[in-house]
Amino acid sequence: MTHIDIDAMLAAANPLTDRTAAMLPLHGAETDLVEQIVATPVGPRSPLAPARVLHRRRLALLLAVTAAVAAVLAVLPSGHHDGGPAPAFAAPLVRFANASPLVLLQLPGWHVVYADEAADGYGEMHFVRGAADANGNPRGSSFSSRASLAGRVASFSWMPANLRGNVTGGHQSLATGLGVTVHRLIYEGGSPRAFDVSALLSYRGRVLEFRATVTDMAMFRAELRALHQVDTTTWLRAMPPSVVKTADSGETIRQMLKGIPLPRGFDAARIRGARLLHDRYQLGAAVTGTVACMWIADWNRARAVGDTQIVERAIAAMATAPRWPILREMAQQGAWPQVLISYAKAMHTGRVQLDRGAPGQPLTAAANSGLGCGYSWGISLGSAPKP
Amino acid sequence: MLAFALRRTTHAQDAADVVAEVFLVAWRRLDDVPSGEGGRLWLYGVARHALANQERSERRRVRLAERLRRELPAAVQSVPPPAPETGTIRAALGRLGSEDREILRLAGWEELTPGEIATVLGISQVAARSRLHRARRRLRAALQGAPGPGESNPVCLQEAL
């Protein structure tokens, strides 16, 4: 189960979306509230705030009160990358390597189990000591038990220095293998015998965060000292198969699309995030999420204009989702396929099925929330047709 | 803001009070409200304080929202109950600490980026990313030991969390 699953399930569990809240039948109660608020004394005004600006801002605030909806979608900015290709690895993997700080945790028995990057220059890697299960967790461990993880898990992330926040202070005694010392040490919780610690450091224009579950600070110090910058080839060779095999995203996406009926206008090159380096599961979510959201968008638009042919075509296409090979593969690792298929089934009624005879949530709102059609894949589903 | 408050209160009347307090504070401190998108984040921050005060039962009741207090409980009754398949994750969320739960809600329900979460919580972006990462892992751990959807009880908005 990856963070995409977590985010999708979390979004689907939202008990009240902003859209639903905006449609609550309040019969003008919010207007009453506005009138009462504006009737209250404002208090002394700042000498720096011109009256006209304040007036405009108060009008804007009134609109905010009455609108009751504040939906802003998080859209990742485009990224900046550098570096040239190396002959032995796919170009996207080399680009990822060159966009990273090229740092590895080099201790016997440790290996990389996960690597991922975001478009804003953020990237992260997870390390495990010893054997790992299919989800990248130490075999036999439990995330609810720090004791089972101590000395077996660590992660490392990096981000541009302009995202660093307030990285101040200094722990001169905490050396790393990178030639820099730790700026900030954060105790993340746990017991005296098994606890999480994070260390922040500035390194070559980036902020690095190393986090580990350890039994004592001596173990954490040893791990910090084992952080080393390596050459591109060494770094690339440390990548896990799930990342390496996905690096040629064009070919991987073509393979993933096998057995999937594609909506009109689908362009694999425009799948959001496809050019970033992802774990295979996450790339699968991007591919199937984009396809599903485009079909649901077609379905929604066709329903609005009464085009039953397109509605039926979209339903039929999505009805094949349980047989999509990539979803069947992903089902072994997480809940994304289950979520997507439940929305495919809901296309018959237009509402996500709820229990106890409740009317359910409109599919477009549910899919937007659960599949992230808008904020993850950049696909607008349009508004739901009037019942 | 109403959705934000409703998602975090047990009783709809409390959500009405929080909304009233937030906008009253904003009205009185308009010089301090950032312009643009920052304004929304600022309001969330005020709302979190209002909610915290409410939980400590120290909040001075703002009697500005009487009609909203009256209307909201009935209005909320029209909200469909959460889908049964989300019971597992709601139960898992309920088992997390309040800090983990809140950062996951800010990311998943308010759809805030780590940078925006940092603004709302008054922490650095690095800390926000770190906490979000950690909270996701704990939620995943909670889910791995979670009961099935059919075993969870909450079905209405007020009980969802």
Alpha helices, H only, chain B: 2-6, 12-28, 37-55, 66-77, 87-95, 98-108, 114-121, 125-144
What is the per-residue pLDDT for B75? 83
Chain A residue with minimum CA distance to B20: A33
- β-pairing, A181-182 with A171-175? antiparallel
What is the per-residue pLDDT for A315? 97
How many Cα atoms are found within 13 Å in the side-chain-facing hemisphere of A97? 26
- Asked if A61 and B26 come within 8 Å (Cβ–Cβ), the reply is yes
- Asked if A186 and B108 come within 8 Å (Cβ–Cβ), the reply is no
Would you give per-residue pLDDT tens digits along chain A (387 residues)? 667 777 788 888 888 888 788 778 776 677 667 766 766 555 433 323 333 334 344 444 444 443 332 222 222 222 223 333 334 577 777 878 888 899 999 999 999 988 877 666 778 888 999 998 766 778 887 655 778 889 999 998 888 876 545 455 556 567 889 988 887 777 766 677 788 888 888 888 888 989 899 988 889 999 999 999 999 889 888 988 777 666 667 788 899 999 999 999 999 888 876 666 667 777 888 899 999 999 999 999 999 999 999 999 999 999 999 999 999 988 877 778 888 898 899 999 888 764 445 566 788 887 887 787 887 788 888 765 444
pLDDT digits (tens, 9 = 90+) for B131-150: 888 898 888 888 876 543 33
What is the per-residue pLDDT for A220? 92
Q: Are residues A150 and A197 in contact, defined by beta-carbon separation less than 8 angstroms? A: no
**How close, in Å, is residue A213 to chain B by CA atoms?**
12
Other residues' Cβ atoms within 10 Å of the Cβ of residue A47: 7
A105 DSSP β-pair partners: A227
Candidate from B28, B88, B109 with C-beta closest to A42: B28
**How close, in Å, is residue A202 to chain B by CA atoms?**
12
- Asked if A42 and B78 come within 8 Å (Cβ–Cβ), the reply is no
Cα distances (Å, whole numbers) of residue A284 to A4, A253, A263, A270, A323: 11, 8, 17, 14, 14
Tokens representing residue A225 in the block:
């000292």
pLDDT digits (tens, 9 = 90+) for B51-88: 876 655 444 444 567 778 888 888 888 787 777 777 88
Q: Are residues A375 and A49 in contact, defined by beta-carbon separation less than 8 angstroms? A: no
**How close, in Å, is residue A22 to chain B by CA atoms?**
8
How many Cα atoms are found within 13 Å in the side-chain-facing hemisphere of A175? 4
Q: Which of A221, A239, A11 is nearest to A114 (CA)?
A: A239
Alpha helices, H only, chain A: 3-12, 18-22, 29-38, 51-67, 91-99, 146-149, 217-225, 232-237, 241-244, 249-256, 280-305, 308-319, 325-330, 336-346, 363-370
Region B34-40: mean pLDDT is: 79
Question: Residue A15: in which H helix or E strand, if any?
Answer: none
- Asked if B127 and A163 come within 8 Å (Cβ–Cβ), the reply is no
What is the per-residue pLDDT for A247? 66
pLDDT digits (tens, 9 = 90+) for A332-362: 777 788 888 988 999 998 887 644 455 667 8
The answer to whether residue A305 neighbours chain B at the CB level (below 8 Å) is no
Q: What b-and-e string marks burial along A25-39, b requiring 16 or more CB atoms within 10 Å of the CB?
A: ebeebbebbbebbee
What is the per-residue pLDDT for A174? 78
| CA pair distance A81, A123, nearest whole angstrom | 12
| CA pair distance B159, B147, nearest whole angstrom | 17
Q: At what angle do helices A280-305 and A363-370 cross, to 10 degrees?
A: 160
Rounded to the nearest angstrom, the gap between the alpha carbon of residue B78 and the centroid of all alpha carbons in its chain is: 20
Candidate from A29, A37, A366 with C-beta closest to B23: A37
> Which ipTM score applies to this complex?
0.77
Place of tokens 């992660």: A155
Other residues' Cβ atoms within 10 Å of the Cβ of residue A110: 20
| CA pair distance A378, A110, nearest whole angstrom | 37
- Selected for mutation to probe chain B from A33, A113, A117, A207 (highest B CB count within 10 Å) is A33
- Asked if A18 and B30 come within 8 Å (Cβ–Cβ), the reply is no
- Asked if A29 and B81 come within 8 Å (Cβ–Cβ), the reply is no
What is the per-residue pLDDT for A39? 61
- Residues from chain B contacting residue A38 (CB–CB below 8 Å): 27
Instruction: Describe chain A by its helix, strand, coil percentages, rounded to 5.
Output: 40, 20, 40
